[in-house]
Amino acid sequence: MGTSKYIALVVLACAGTALAADTDNDQAADSSDAFPCDSRYAGVSFAPAKGDFGVLLFEDMWPRDGDRDFNDVVLAYNYAFALGLDGDVRAIQLNLTVLAAGASLHNAVLLRLPNVPATAAGRITKNVSGQGEVSLSPEPGEQDLVIRLVPDITQLFPVVGFANTVPGSTSLPVRPVNVIIELNGPVQLELGYAPFDLFIARDGDDGHQIHLPAYPGTARMDAGLFGTENDRSDPKLGIYFVNERGLPFALHIPTLVAWAAEGVSLDKLYPDIVAFAASGGTRGTDWYVSNVSPGYAWTATDSQPKPSLIGPGLGQACPP
């Protein structure tokens, strides 16, 4: 091969390499970088999926059964995780919308990230639809990172009291909340466990918490409530916040579902939830789609409230 042809091939090779632009110099080519202008992040993951929402339903009378309608707090969520080149989580965006509040109690919404120390949080900001940005701090007295996302859910509705649960009522507007947690360094989170420990607590009584059955409560949980009234938590089995029939007081569904009308037991709307609970969650895992009696669901006389994603997003945007 002649010298001129060799030089031409080298020039072409270098030109081809130059096409793989890396604007933020993070060793991830722009074409595969979810954040091409932010060197802190390279990848992104979502839960339950990009643009989709999961739902949590709470019965807030625990440890007493209450009416078991599971509409005391109806919470839709969507996570976005900013990842480094190694796949570790560097920042978290949580969009949540309280769709219904079927209770006279004032409940707060909090998030605990298991095995993520409180010191891992750098900057935490919250935006509520119609309001400006505010800074949040980790909850004091907790080893894990615990964040109070909503101090009182009634503040998200135009009225105090029952919202989007009373039969024959019109839909009250909902106000999405956006929380961004920028971490001081990479953390390892099993993203398949999302929504993690997203829970409620009585406003003014942080010891009175209600969690999904896999979680025993935070460091400030009043453990003396376990085993009282209808609660049959079993620490040996690692199951908490369940009653005599195995029914939990908080439910997670990985997609949007209807919720029960006020005073209607959830098992009338979703009969298969009884077998699901009795089996410890091993049978009837599709209880929310397998056998549904929609006549027991709350429906608005106008249009159903819907969750939505609001900004800002993760990472620095590229300049126009």
The residue with tokens 């369940």 is 242
| Cα(107)–Cα(200) distance, integer angstroms | 6
pLDDT of residue 121 exceeding 80, the answer is yes
- Written as one letter, the residue type at 53 is F
pLDDT of residue 103 exceeding 80, the answer is yes
pLDDT greater at residue 260 or residue 5: 260
Task: Please give the pLDDT value at position 12.
Answer: 37
The encoded tokens of residue 303 equal 């249009």
What average pLDDT does the segment 149-177 reach?
94
pLDDT of residue 30 exceeding 90, the answer is no
**How many residues in the chain?**
320
Task: Please give the pLDDT value at position 20.
Answer: 73
Q: Please give the distance of CA 106 from its chain centroid, rounded to a whole number.
A: 20
Q: Quick check: helix, strand or coil at residue 255? A: coil
Q: Quick check: helix, strand or coil at residue 274? A: helix
| Cα(32)–Cα(42) distance, integer angstroms | 8
What average pLDDT does the segment 280-299 reach?
93
Digit-coded pLDDT (tens) for 171-204 = 999 999 999 999 999 998 999 999 999 999 998 8
Q: Please give the distance of CA 249 from its chain centroid, rounded to a whole number.
A: 17
Domain assignments of the chain as residue spans, ordered by start = 40-296
Digit-coded pLDDT (tens) for 270-288 = 999 999 988 888 888 999 9
Task: Please give the pLDDT value at position 201.
Answer: 98
Task: Please give the pLDDT value at position 15.
Answer: 44
Q: Quick check: helix, strand or coil at residue 153? A: helix
Task: Please give the pLDDT value at position 4.
Answer: 42
The residue with tokens 């298969």 is 272
What average pLDDT does the segment 215-226 reach?
97
Task: Please give the pLDDT value at position 281.
Answer: 84
Distances (CA, A) of 122 to 29, 206, 298: 27, 23, 40
Task: Please give the pLDDT value at position 198.
Answer: 98
pLDDT of residue 68 exceeding 90, the answer is yes
| Cα(151)–Cα(244) distance, integer angstroms | 31
Task: Please give the pLDDT value at position 179.
Answer: 98
Distances (CA, A) of 317 to 23, 41, 320: 12, 12, 9
pLDDT of residue 154 exceeding 90, the answer is yes
Digit-coded pLDDT (tens) for 256-269 = 999 999 999 999 99
pLDDT of residue 25 exceeding 90, the answer is no
pLDDT of residue 111 exceeding 90, the answer is yes
pLDDT of residue 45 exceeding 70, the answer is yes
Task: Please give the pLDDT value at position 19.
Answer: 53
Instruction: Report, in this order, helix, strand and coil percent for the chain, each rounded to 5.
Output: 15, 30, 55
Closest CA to 180 of 116, 111, 242: 111
What's the mean pLDDT when you consider all of the chain? 91
pLDDT of residue 11 exceeding 80, the answer is no
Q: Quick check: helix, strand or coil at residue 277? A: helix
Give strand ranges (E) for 84-211: 89-100, 107-117, 121-128, 133-136, 144-150, 177-187, 197-202, 205-210
Q: How confident is the model at residue 60 (pLDDT cuts 50, 70, 90)?
A: very high
Task: Please give the pLDDT value at position 3.
Answer: 43
What average pLDDT does the segment 152-181 reach?
94
